[in-house]
Amino acid sequence: MLKLITRHSLNLLLPVAIFCNISFAFARPGEHTSVKKEDNLKVGIARIDITPTLPIWLTGYANRKQPGDAVAQKLSAKAIVIEESPTSKIIIVTVDLLGLSHEIVEDVRKITATKYSIDRSQLLFNSSHTHSGPMIWPNLDVIYDFDFASQQKVSSYTQQLTKNLVAVIDDAMNHMSKATLYSGHGEAGFAINRRGAIHPNGPTDHDVPVIKVADADGKIVAVLFGYACHNTTVVEEANAINGDYAGYAQEEIEKNNPGVTAFFLMGCAGDQNPEPRVNLKDAAAHGKELATAVQKVLSANMQPVRAPIKTGYDVAVLHFRLQDVSVYQKEIVDTNIYRQRRAKLMLEAYNKGWANSTLNYPMQVVRFGNDFTLLALADEVVVDYSLDLKKIFKDENLYVAGYCNEVQCYIPNKRILKEGGYEADDSMIYYAFPGPFSDDVEDIVKATAMKLMKNAGAVK
């Protein structure tokens, strides 16, 4: 039996090193000179149902008092393999879930690396961040104090999810065929900056990037699209499993394009909320607006996305502000149950001598020739990172995705750290981290992003 390690202890035991674990995979120069580069690509597509059996505790909202007891919409994991050659490919896996743990990502990585001889830069995960999906233990586990049966059920789901992710990758790898890719951009306007009380009229990013995948006959077989907005529309029907607006957008795209598999890639949505956000009806409306924006792009002229495929991966080390032990000694007797649970973990680490001053932060890049670049950031990244990096790389067709690979906490920038509020401070309680990041978090993330982009061939 696999002995599960909590995210807290796993994070504490990770080695401390600045900008480590760098890997790049490049197509060999001079390959495929006899045909157009866009004709070199092969694609494999697969999906698997990851809807849990009921009842099961859902995650994302701390105020739930009972497990999820209904399914308003099924949840899926989907995989797309885009291959230039046996050694040059990218595997993208999307999930209709709040976020994946480090443990799940690493387990899947190890299995797929052995099976398919890929390096870490060639496997990318993205979570839709629906707040109406099952608990992915141990992420956000401070919001609950499970009894034996509940812990057993959520942990069993997590272990089965790992098997399902491997299975969907296997399925995609076993069904490769020639394909061409195209890109375009649309716009949807329902995302707002939710920090209005602290920062009125804060930034938003309404861009809707779209990648169309067509088979050898020109028929569309897959659509990848993104948006930067929390999947937190459904508040009133909080015990019903669903993919929120992203789930409804994928359904609508697939309905409008029979035979197509739709993939949603969440953007830098840390401080972005849908408006309005009440119930399933609102989620469906936002989903339709997003799907309409995607369909408009698909109906217009789109630009080719070609080889070579270049991928890169890096792990930055982010630092937390130093907290005196007295902070947790006070919180352990606090009337706020979430502060008390966080304090319990911090004091346990303190008494056992576990270092918990840093977070290992994975970042990734995928670049298709000079045609399209995906910069993939872990965790709940605030929208400023997307806007700033697109300005820096203004000549790149760039999408900056958040919630990639693992989702462990919020990633604020300097402005938000200075302003304070949920994304900078209070969220760290629910994610069970020591406290806010130090002021250099933005500098470190951007420096690592710049290095990845440069190594992948991007030009400022």
Please provide residue 58's backbone torsions phi and psi, each rounded to the nearest 5 degrees. Answer: -95, 165
**Domains: count for the chain:** 2
Please state, in angstroms and rounded to a whole number, the distance separating the CA atoms of residues 142 and 340. 9
Q: Span 209-213, mean pLDDT? A: 98
Torsion 109-115-117-123 (CA) sign: negative
Distance separating alpha carbons of residues 105 and 362, to the nearest angstrom? 11
pLDDT band of residue 14 (cuts 50, 70, 90) is: very low
Q: Kindly state the average pLDDT of the residues 426-431.
A: 97
pLDDT for the residue 283: 98
Residues 309 and 327 grouped into a single domain: no
Q: Per-residue pLDDT for 354 more than 80? A: yes
Q: Is residue 369 part of a domain?
A: yes
Phi and psi of 42, rounded to 5°? -120, 150
Q: List, for residues 153-181, the tens digit of each pLDDT value.
A: 999 999 999 999 999 999 999 999 999 99
Sorting pLDDT into bands at 50, 70 and 90, what band is 17? very low
**If pLDDT is split at 50, 70 and 90, which confidence band does 425 have?**
very high
Tell me, what's the pLDDT at 459? 86
Average confidence (pLDDT) over 414-432: 97
User: Phi-psi region for residue 62, left (φ > 0), alpha (ψ -120 to 50) or beta?
Assistant: alpha
Q: Is residue 235 part of a domain?
A: yes
Q: Are residues 339 and 447 in the same domain?
A: no
Structure tokens at 340: 């008390």
Contacts of 238 (CB under 8 A, 6+ apart): 58, 61, 64, 131, 132
Instruction: Classify residue 1: in a domain, yes or no.
Output: no
The number of helices, as runs of H, and strands, as runs of E, in the chain is: 11, 22
Here the tokens at position 392 are: 């820096």
d(CA 236, CA 240): 10
Where does the pLDDT of residue 124 fall: very low under 50, low under 70, confident under 90, or very high at 90 and above?
Answer: very high
Q: Specify whether the CB–CB gap between 386 and 270 falls below 8 A.
A: no
Q: Is a pLDDT exceeding 60 seen at residue 389? A: yes
148 phi/psi in degrees, rounded to 5: -55, -50
Within 10 A of 270 (CB to CB), how many other CB atoms are there?
A: 28
Q: How far apart are CA 154 and CA 324, in angstroms?
A: 34
Residue 376 structure tokens: 């993939």
User: What distance in Å separates the CA atoms of residue 291 and residue 268, rounded to the nearest whole number?
Assistant: 19
Residue 2 lies in a domain: no
Share of the chain above pLDDT 90, in %: 90
DSSP codes joined into one string, 235-276: -TTTTEE--HHHHHHHHHHHHHSTT-EEEEEEBS-TTEEESS
pTM over 0.85: yes
Confidence of residue 24 (pLDDT cuts 50, 70, 90): very low
Q: With contact defined as beta carbons under 8 Å apart, do 412 and 379 qualify?
A: no
pLDDT of 20 above 90: no
413: pLDDT confidence band, cut at 50, 70 and 90?
very high
Would residue 81 count as lying in a domain?
Answer: yes
Split at pLDDT 50, 70, 90, the class of 3 is very low
Residues 200-204 have a mean pLDDT of 95
143-149 long-range contacts, CB within 8 A, separation 24+: 143/59, 143/61, 143/62, 143/338, 143/430, 144/57, 145/341, 146/57
**pLDDT for the residue 40:** 85
The confidence score (pLDDT) of residue 38 equals 52
Token pair for residue 458?
């991007």
- Tell me whether the omega of the peptide bond preceding residue 304 falls within 30 degrees of 0, making it cis: no
Question: Do 297 and 347 lie in a common domain?
Answer: no
Q: What confidence category does residue 15 fall into, taking pLDDT thresholds of 50, 70 and 90? A: very low
344 and 244 housed in the same domain:
no
Q: Which two tokens stand for residue 297?
A: 């792009």
Range of the domain at 331: 323-352
Report how far residue 247's alpha carbon sits from residue 320's, in angstroms, rounded to the nearest whole number.
34
How many whole angstroms separate alpha carbon 7 and alpha carbon 432? 9
Minimum mean pLDDT range among 26-30, 251-255, 272-276: 26-30
Q: Domain for residue 194, yes or no?
A: yes
pLDDT band at 33 (very low <50, low <70, confident <90, very high): very low
What is each CA distance from 137 to 103, 134, 160, 409, in whole angstroms?
10, 9, 12, 14
The C-alpha angle 404, 125, 439, rounded to 5 degrees, equals: 15
Q: Are residues 390 and 432 located together in one domain of the fold? A: yes
pLDDT above 70 as % of the chain: 92
Residues 378 and 397 in one domain: yes
Residues 380 and 338 in one domain: no
- Whether 219 and 332 share a structural domain: no
The answer to the question of residue 460 being in a domain is: no
* Same domain for 259 and 233: yes
Residue 245 lies in a domain: yes
Provide the pLDDT for residue 12.
36
DSSP state of 443: H
pLDDT at 19: 34
Considering 352, 373, 404, which residue would you say is the last residue of a domain? 352
**Identity of the amino acid at 343:** A
Radius of gyration of the chain (CA): 21
Cβ partners under 8 Å of residue 107, min gap 6: 162
Looking at the fold, whether 218 and 347 belong to one and the same domain comes out as no
pLDDT at 13: 36
Q: Reply yes or no on whether the pLDDT at 324 is more than 70.
A: yes
Average pLDDT over residues 367-376: 98
* Structural tokens at position 214: 């067509």
Residues 334 and 189 placed together within one structural domain of the fold: no
Mean pLDDT score across all residues of the chain: 92
pLDDT in the model for residue 39? 63
Amino acid identity of 63? N
> What is the structure's pLDDT at 460?
84
Judge if 69 and 143 occupy the same domain.
yes
> In this predicted structure, what is the pLDDT of residue 21?
41
